[in-house]
A = this chain, B = another copy of it.
Amino acid sequence: MKKRQTKSKRAVLECLKRAENFGLRSDEIENQLPEFDRVTIYRILQSFIDDGIIHKVISDDGKFYYFKCHTCGEIHYHNHYHFKCDNCGKVECMNNEIEVKVPSGYKVSNVNFWITGVCRDCNS
Chain B residues near A108: list those with CB within 8 A.
Answer: 115-117
Known A60-B58, A109-B86; contact A115-B96, beta-carbon cutoff 8 A: no
Chain B residues near A112: list those with CB within 8 A.
Answer: 60, 112-115
User: Which of A2-27 touch B at CB < 8 Å?
Assistant: none
Contact B103 A109 (CB under 8 A): no
> Distance in Å from the Cβ of A106 to the closest Cβ of chain B?
6
> Distance in Å from the Cβ of A24 to the closest Cβ of chain B?
17
> Distance in Å from the Cβ of A2 to the closest Cβ of chain B?
29
Known A58-B58, A58-B60, A62-B64; contact A115-B105, beta-carbon cutoff 8 A: no
Q: Which of B61, B100, B117 contacts A107 (CB 8 A)?
A: B117
Give A111-124 as 1s and 0s: 1 = Cβ < 8 Å from B's Cβ atoms.
Answer: 11111111110011
- Nearest first, the 5 closest Cβ-Cβ pairs linking A and B are A105-B120, A112-B114, A60-B112, A108-B117, A107-B118
Q: A108-B116, A114-B114 are in contact. List 9 more A-B contacts (CB 8 A).
A: A58-B58, A94-B102, A96-B101, A103-B120, A108-B115, A110-B115, A110-B116, A111-B113, A113-B113
